[in-house]
Copies of this chain bind each other. A is one copy, B any other.
Amino acid sequence: MLRFECDYTEGAHPRILEALIKTNREQTKGYGEDEFCETARKIIRLACGREDMNVHFLVGGTQANATVIASVLRPHQAVICAETGHIATHESGAVEATGHKVITLPSEDGKITAVQVKKLLDEHWSDPTREHCPQPAMVYISHPTETGLIYSKRELTALRRVCDNRNIPLYLDGARLGYALAADENDLFMADIAELCDLFYIGGTKVGAMFGEAVCICSEELDRDFRYHIKQHGGMLAKGRFLGIQFETLFKDGLYLEISRNAVSQAMRIKEAFQSAGCDFLYDSPTNQQFPIVNKAVRSELSKNYSFTIWKEMPGDKTAVRFVTSWATKEENVDTLVNDIKRICRLYGEKTPSWSVEMPE
């Protein structure tokens, strides 16, 4: 069984393990106040071109989201996100557990637009009885989205402007940030994100780390007392060094981008295989998650040797499935998968594969 169900099926990047071993017997202070964390902070600030930005290391994404959102909002305030947003769908109500409503915007593809956000904000603020409704006071986006798509610089700038007009923070969940940075069509670099967002996090767990997310806070006011919040949310690792060492390793010598590129390349090979086999896609993703639509027979055949996610039942006997690559995805495994896609789709697929005429093996 080859696993393509998610980007955390393997352990950590070997260089991370090496660094952990090398430093294991050194004695350090706890709770992220060690020198490894300090170094990692510096490197990340450098990568973002913002010396004034603070960086905190948390253990996981759900924790990072709940901690950030709860630290920013007052009790009557709510966060806006796409209906597909991770905080709205797959965090077991962690945001609501801190007392806040998650206001969802309809979204075909997992992205939200500045126009949508503006409309929602305008409606709230023009309602004379608005105090009967939670106050929308923060925008959450994921980049890449849960659907594999990425925001362009223009789109993010537009969201920024809407937030500025209402003086509310923009927060970007970068659980898979590396895979966005590595996408061919990407025009949003770390420095852009650090400039356009008030808060964001750089995902480690899904991009080569054992675990860990680097929360970046771009304003002193939003950063105030943030360490209390980390502690209260159970995110302050006693041996915080393990987070520092991992992020130092990931951001030294461009490892983060390098391994992200591998994932995206392999994902593109899978995309092409399904495309050539005549499959449609639920989303046209340029990143490490691919959402081909297959019929029951193809799905069944593929599932004999591969694990992948059943994403959405579609009309007819179709299913949108998800194949995910990561820093750890091996080229030879993708070779095997690509061959199987071709073979299975020719046998069981409905449309004529694009190669079947020219190249009937």
Partner of A237, one of B25, B76, B211: B211
- In the assembled complex, A17 has its CB within 8 A of some CB on chain B: yes
Nearest-neighbor residue (CB-CB) of A175 within chain B: B238
Nearest-neighbor residue (CB-CB) of A94 within chain B: B232
- In the assembled complex, A91 has its CB within 8 A of some CB on chain B: yes
- In the assembled complex, A10 has its CB within 8 A of some CB on chain B: yes
Shortest distance between the CB of A336 and any CB in chain B (Å): 14
Q: DSSP majority for the A interface?
A: loop
Query: Contacts A3-B27, A62-B236, A205-B239 hold; do A131 and B75 have CB atoms under 8 A apart?
Result: no
Q: Contact: B135 with A225, CB < 8 Å?
A: yes
Map CB proximity to B onto A84-97 as digits: 1 under 8 Å, 0 otherwise: 00000111111011
Q: How many A residues touch the partner, as a band?
A: 35 or more
Cα distance, A27 to B325, chains bound together (Å): 12
Q: Contact: B228 with A94, CB < 8 Å?
A: no
Shortest distance between the CB of A281 and any CB in chain B (Å): 23
- In the assembled complex, A49 has its CB within 8 A of some CB on chain B: no
Given contacts A62-B236, A71-B76, A92-B231, 9 further A-B contacts (CB under 8 A): A1-B27, A6-B238, A11-B20, A76-B232, A90-B132, A91-B132, A97-B232, A205-B238, A211-B239
Nearest first, the 4 closest Cβ-Cβ pairs linking A and B are A63-B234, A11-B24, A76-B228, A93-B134
20 A-B pairs, CB-CB below 8 angstroms?
Answer: A3-B27, A3-B28, A10-B25, A10-B27, A11-B242, A17-B20, A17-B24, A59-B234, A59-B237, A60-B235, A75-B229, A92-B133, A93-B133, A93-B232, A94-B234, A96-B96, A131-B228, A135-B228, A211-B238, A234-B234
